[in-house]
């Protein structure tokens, strides 16, 4: 009976049921797409207020504000290193397994129907446009579309302003603290619909594209999953061991979030819950509020692996030999395009289109080979990026002495979080406020 009430168990059953319904009742399963879309919209509705309240109260509560610059520099440097490693792993995997060799595709015979929406989005991914997009048109406009970076920008400014105001900012901070508890409680209510959302999204995916459609490109999909697994287990696992905690226990602790991401192919629905659960690990609110949302835009390691792997796969399939110079140029462009695609629907595919429109060495029409299976590869991208950002947040917190190691080890050992969202899921328990930092 207790197992039936577990959110993890309910989502797992929903995911399995979605695959079964999508496979055996494909036409009817396609009609279930609104269930997944509605759940994602419900959660995205809460992202802006959660990020804003967490970051503002976190920065305002930081006693050493001079450490903020060091924190951001360290965070961005770690994200840069992880992205470079991800690109290299994708490159090594595609040259090792050679999934495109022997396909002998003539680019002129490929249909480019359906590529226009991706190439149009790719054309807007210039570096200048990306950074200009961080600045909202108006203060309230930052909350309009629920995008993370504009809200992050406004929240940092507000946090510094309230911190400089001293005691006179106390009434505003108290309101924001209460608002933070409110939005996390609302988020806890919305998470009750996670099994329905995961079921609808996965049933649609399998019903629309069909499991049997994976056969022709199974080697490519397998190569991506192997590369992502290597990155998580070896690279992230090594980082965790070096900092004295277990990757496996962290992944187990976040198992419900990973199942939601698996079902929806998106990391956005779990951002508020990730922030809350990382705070429950003992990480300070200010650090979590800055590192995790920034990672959602600047640390898309799953996408980075996909970019280098998919680009060379197209070249292999079309019998195009890339020189070392061409490969290095491609990697440099991908280092930027993987960041610029943040917040764009189908970000991995859009970033790949953006890269191919610039380098010209690989035919853009080759994207047609990937359209039908991109949804099945997006799960690997999202899961890898989520794991990387979770590890990065804990590691940065530990390096800044902003994480209670005793709480971290105890919570990871138990595998359970004591958060307002969990209390909303189990309303018989008394509510307690989220972890606060002053």
| pLDDT tens profile 287-340 | 898 898 888 878 889 989 999 999 999 888 888 888 888 888 888 888 877 765
Q: pLDDT band at 248, cuts 50/70/90? A: very high
- Position 325 in a domain: yes
Query: Residue 84: pLDDT above 80?
Result: yes
Q: pLDDT band at 366, cuts 50/70/90? A: confident
Q: pLDDT band at 409, cuts 50/70/90? A: very high
Helix (H, G, I), strand (E, B) or coil at 426: coil
Query: What percentage of the chain reaches a pLDDT higher than 90?
Result: 21
Q: pLDDT band at 240, cuts 50/70/90? A: very high
Residues 6+ apart with CB under 8 A from 78: 392, 395, 396
Cα end-to-end distance, the chain, whole Å? 40
Helix (H, G, I), strand (E, B) or coil at 403: strand
- Position 433 in a domain: no
The single residue listed with the structure tokens 């055996």 is 24
Q: pLDDT band at 278, cuts 50/70/90? A: very high
* 371 CB neighbour count, 10 Å cutoff: 17
**Whole-angstrom Cα distance, residue 45 to residue 184?**
12
**Whole-angstrom Cα distance, residue 142 to residue 190?**
23
Number of domains in the chain: 1
The residue-averaged pLDDT of 413-435 equals 54
- Position 435 in a domain: no
Return the CATH number at 222: 1.10.3860.10
The single residue listed with the structure tokens 């002998």 is 104
Q: How far is CA 304 from CA 176, 235, 299, 375, in A?
A: 36, 14, 9, 16
Residues 6+ apart with CB under 8 A from 322: 312, 315, 330, 361, 362
Q: What is the pLDDT of residue 433?
A: 41
Q: What is the pLDDT of residues 25-70, one digit of tens each?
A: 888 888 888 888 888 788 778 878 888 888 888 777 666 666 777 8
- Position 430 in a domain: no
- Position 269 in a domain: yes
Q: How is residue 79 written in tokens?
A: 């994200």
The single residue listed with the structure tokens 């970000």 is 347
pTM of the model: 0.78
Q: Please, where are the H alpha helices in 234-280?
A: 237-242, 247-253, 255-264, 271-280
Helix (H, G, I), strand (E, B) or coil at 306: helix
Number of H helices and E strands in the chain, helices first, is: 22, 0
- Position 431 in a domain: no
Query: Residue 345: pLDDT above 50?
Result: no
Q: What is the pLDDT of residue 79?
A: 92
Q: pLDDT band at 436, cuts 50/70/90? A: very low
Q: Between residues 393 and 271, which one has the greater pLDDT? A: 393
The residue-averaged pLDDT of 1-18 equals 76
Q: What is the pLDDT of residue 126?
A: 56
Helix (H, G, I), strand (E, B) or coil at 283: strand
Q: What is the pLDDT of residue 428?
A: 39
The residue-averaged pLDDT of 390-418 equals 89
- Position 355 in a domain: yes
- Position 127 in a domain: yes
Query: What percentage of the chain reaches a pLDDT higher than 70?
Result: 82
By residue range, what is the domain housing residue 83?
A: 2-425
Q: What is the pLDDT of residue 115?
A: 52
Q: Between residues 316 and 102, which one has the greater pLDDT? A: 316
Strand (E) or helix (H) holding 425: helix 420-425
51-55, 103-107, 258-262, range with the lowest pLDDT? 103-107
Q: Are 110 and 365 in contact (CB under 8 A)?
A: yes
Q: What is the pLDDT of residue 435?
A: 44
Q: What is the pLDDT of residues 315-324, one digit of tens each?
A: 888 888 888 8
């Amino acid at each position: 009976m207790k197992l039936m009430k577990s959110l993890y168990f309910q989502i797992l059953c929903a995911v399995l049921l979605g695959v079964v319904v999508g496979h055996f009742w494909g036409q009817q399963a396609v009609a279930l797409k609104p269930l997944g879309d509605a759940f994602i919209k419900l959660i995205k509705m809460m992202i802006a207020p959660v990020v804003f309240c967490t970051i503002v109260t976190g920065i305002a509560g930081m006693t050493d504000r001079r450490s903020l610059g060091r924190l951001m520099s360290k965070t961005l440097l770690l994200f840069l290193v992880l992205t470079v490693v991800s690109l290299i792993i994708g490159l090594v995997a595609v040259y090792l397994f050679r999934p495109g060799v022997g396909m002998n595709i003539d680019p002129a015979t490929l249909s480019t129907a359906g590529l226009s929406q991706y190439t149009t989005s790719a054309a807007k991914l210039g570096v200048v446009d990306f950074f200009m997009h961080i600045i909202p048109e108006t203060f309230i406009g930052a909350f309009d579309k629920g995008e993370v970076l504009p809200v992050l920008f406004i929240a940092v400014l507000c946090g510094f302003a309230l911190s400089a105001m001293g005691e006179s900012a106390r009434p505003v901070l108290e309101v924001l603290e209460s608002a933070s508890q409110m939005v996390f409680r609302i988020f806890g209510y919305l998470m009750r619909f996670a099994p329905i959302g995961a079921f609808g999204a996965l049933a649609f995916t399998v019903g629309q594209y069909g499991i049997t459609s994976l056969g022709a490109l199974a080697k490519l999909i397998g190569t991506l999953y192997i590369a992502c697994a290597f990155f998580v287990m070896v690279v992230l696992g090594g980082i965790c061991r070096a900092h004295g905690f277990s990757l496996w226990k962290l992944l187990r602790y976040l198992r419900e979030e990973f199942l939601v991401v698996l079902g929806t192919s998106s990391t956005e629905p779990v951002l508020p819950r990730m922030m809350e659960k990382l705070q429950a690990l003992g990480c300070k609110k200010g650090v979590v509020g800055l590192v995790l949302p920034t990672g959602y835009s600047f640390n898309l390691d799953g996408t980075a692996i996909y970019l280098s792997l998919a680009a060379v796969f197209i070249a292999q399939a079309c019998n195009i030999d890339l020189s070392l110079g061409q490969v290095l140029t491609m990697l440099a462009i991908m280092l930027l395009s993987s960041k610029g695609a943040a917040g764009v629907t189908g970000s991995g595919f859009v970033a790949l289109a953006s890269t191919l429109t610039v380098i010209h060495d690989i035919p853009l029409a080759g994207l047609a080979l990937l359209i039908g299976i991109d949804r099945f590869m997006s799960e690997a991208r999202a899961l890898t990026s989520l794991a990387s950002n979770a590890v990065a947040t804990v590691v940065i917190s530990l390096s800044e002495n902003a994480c209670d190691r005793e709480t971290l080890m105890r919570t990871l050992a138990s595998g359970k979080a004591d958060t307002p969202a969990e209390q909303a899921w189990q309303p018989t328990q008394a509510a307690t406020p989220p972890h606060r930092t002053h």
